[in-house]
């Protein structure tokens, strides 16, 4: 008999073929004889072919050799040493019995050793926490990846099943092959996919980039994924989807979601740069996207010994939730409105002094009326020299105001010309400050012009009518007729204030109004925090166990 390999442990099994065992194949005989030791038939066949089986003292290299009653048999079971050193590092065990372990695999952890990687894998940790994987009870297992029946990519988190003995491994491998195992993932993908979809496209090596996989017309292996849209972030930036896979090809979900135009967030391999430009507008988001946002969420399988169904659900990790919350941030667009003389401009100035980007409709319109600007050009084109006597001079605002007071339809005509320009100016303001958490715009006719959709929150500034009218008379020189005309162009004060989300009362002094501005900033921050909590509650409800 040949000596065992120096890198192997050896034990010799002996037996005599009984009368009722006559005609049995050699490999079948030893399979039955070693069944209680969990040795795979393929491993026994390998030992036989390597000359480690003897019949009546002579080596036999044929696993299918039929035995005769009375044959004396020997089998030298060669179990290669793995050479793997157990590593005492953290392992998140969710379920454990004599046959099976269910783990929560973290990101940045390779499942098993490979060429050039002989330490720091999940298998090294398993060997420390479950030494039986390297012991006699693990006979027949692949010693480079003991217990591994399926795997997750290095940066994929979530549920992973590990067999603690060879019969369990064979049973689980059979269940995976027969598609009796439920595998459902959570993924964050760019854009907003359809409500649901099926991707049935073969996957193979990329034709030119050999380190990547791709949907291939020829040479690929069948791959089937079914996704369901769960939630979409503001502005359709990205979505949370669940993906159920029947097959288990390398990078399957990453490749399939890219194939349908919705690659995973944080995936440098399969996500083109054209999808990621919006990420630069969200402070801190790129720093969080250190891996493809993929998580093994649900795992259902029959128990290898009892065949009873086991089901596990693991909510997404913190980094995935942080990406959802940070990636959902939008600029809180606050509109200030109120009656003439209520102090809107003063409140806006106080908010600007506290660091909020600020925009004023009155100032925007004044800029539009500057010579050569769009508003000025419209006035010249539609009214000739009626309001611009000098072809290159400024707008005669007094003549314009008098005409608006005298001719109601002219006011409506002018609003139809100027308001779209002012609104475009506002849109540019929001875009310029899209990285800020909050920005404010003062618009006297915000409600009357139908602009509420441009704002997330409308703040009305209330003021004692007698006080604000007295101020307009003394500081702006308005008479009673002008006061009446200007107020008639707006909603009644009571209706205007009722339509606002928040109401700030002007207490009458600059210091007190400045304090109101500080309080408003605090309220705005609290509302943003509530928005974050609502998103978190929504996601938590979506991914919780049923």
Kindly write down the DSSP assignment for every residue of 164-223, as one continuous string: SSHHHHHHHHHHHHTT-SEEEEEEEEES---SEEEEE--EEE-SS-TTSEEE-SSSPBP-
Reading the block at residue 449, the tokens are 């012009």
Burial (0-12, 13-18, 19+ Cβ within 10 Å), 341: buried
Reading the block at residue 301, the tokens are 């399988």
20 is known as an active-site residue: no
Q: Which residue has the tokens 């073929």?
A: 17
Q: From the candidates 153, 319, 374, 456, which is the catalytic residue? A: 153
80 close to 142: Cβ distance less than 8 angstroms: no
* Residue positions counted in the chain: 546
How does strand 213-215 pair with strand 224-232?
Answer: unpaired
Whole-angstrom Cα distance, residue 186 to residue 228? 10
Whole-angstrom Cα distance, residue 288 to residue 269? 17
What's phi and psi for 24, nearest 5 deg? Answer: -75, 145
Whole-angstrom Cα distance, residue 370 to residue 393? 9
Residues that are catalytic = 153
């Amino acid at each position: 008999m040949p000596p065992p390999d120096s890198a192997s442990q050896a034990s010799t099994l002996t037996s005599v073929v009984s009368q009722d065992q006559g005609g049995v194949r050699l490999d079948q005989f030893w399979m039955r004889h070693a069944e209680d030791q969990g040795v795979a038939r393929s491993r026994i066949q390998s030992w036989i072919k390597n000359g480690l089986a003897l019949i009546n003292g002579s080596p036999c290299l044929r696993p299918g050799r039929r035995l005769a009653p009375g044959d004396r048999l020997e089998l030298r079971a060669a179990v290669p040493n793995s050479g793997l050193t157990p590593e005492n590092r953290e392992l998140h065990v969710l379920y454990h019995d004599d046959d099976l372990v269910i783990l929560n695999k973290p990101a940045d952890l390779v499942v098993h050793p490979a060429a050039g990687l002989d330490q720091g894998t999940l298998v090294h940790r398993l060997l420390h926490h479950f030494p039986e994987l390297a012991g006699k009870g693990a006979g027949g297992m692949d010693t480079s990846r003991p217990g591994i029946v399926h795997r997750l990519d290095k940066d994929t988190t979530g549920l992973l099943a590990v067999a603690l003995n060879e019969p369990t491994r064979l049973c689980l491998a059979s269940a995976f092959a027969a598609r009796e195992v439920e595998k459902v993932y959570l993924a964050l993908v760019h854009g907003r996919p359809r409500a649901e979809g099926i991707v049935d496209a073969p996957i193979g090596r990329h034709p030119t980039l050999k380190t990547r996989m791709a949907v291939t017309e020829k040479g690929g292996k069948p791959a089937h994924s079914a996704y369901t849209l769960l939630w979409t972030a503001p502005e359709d930036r990205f979505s949370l989807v669940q993906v159920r896979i029947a097959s288990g090809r390398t990078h399957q979900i990453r490749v399939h979601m890219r194939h349908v135009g919705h690659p995973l967030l944080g995936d440098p391999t399969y996500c083109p740069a054209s999808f990621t430009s919006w990420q630069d507008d969200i402070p801190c988001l790129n720093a969080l996207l250190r891996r493809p946002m993929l998580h093994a969420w649900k795992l259902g399988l029959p128990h290898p010994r009892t065949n009873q169904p086991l089901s596990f659900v693991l909510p997404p990790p913190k980094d995935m939730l942080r990406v959802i919350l940070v990636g959902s941030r939008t600029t809180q667009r606050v509109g200030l409105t109120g009656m003439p003389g209520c102090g809107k401009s003063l409140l806006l100035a106080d908010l600007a002094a506290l660091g909020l980007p600020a925009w004023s409709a009155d100032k925007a319109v004044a800029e539009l009326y500057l010579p050569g600007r769009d508003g000025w050009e419209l006035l010249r084109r539609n009214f000739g020299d009626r309001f611009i006597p000098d072809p290159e001079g400024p707008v005669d605002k007094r003549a314009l105001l008098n005409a608006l007071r005298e001719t109601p339809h002219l006011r409506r005509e002018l609003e139809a010309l100027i308001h779209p320009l002012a609104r475009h100016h506002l849109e540019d303001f929001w875009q310029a400050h899209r990285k800020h958490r909050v920005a404010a715009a003062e618009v006297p006719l915000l409600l009357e012009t139908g602009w509420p959709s441009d704002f997330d929150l409308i703040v009305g500034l209330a003021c004692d009518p007698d006080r604000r009218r007295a101020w307009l008379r003394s500081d702006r020189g308005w008479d009673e007729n002008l006061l009446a005309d200007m107020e008639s162009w707006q909603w009644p004060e009571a209706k205007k204030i009722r339509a606002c989300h928040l109401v700030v009362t002007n207490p009458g002094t600059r210091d007190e109004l400045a304090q109101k501005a500080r309080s408003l900033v605090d309220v705005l921050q609290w509302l943003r925090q509530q928005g974050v909590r609502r998103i978190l509650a929504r996601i938590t409800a979506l991914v919780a166990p049923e």
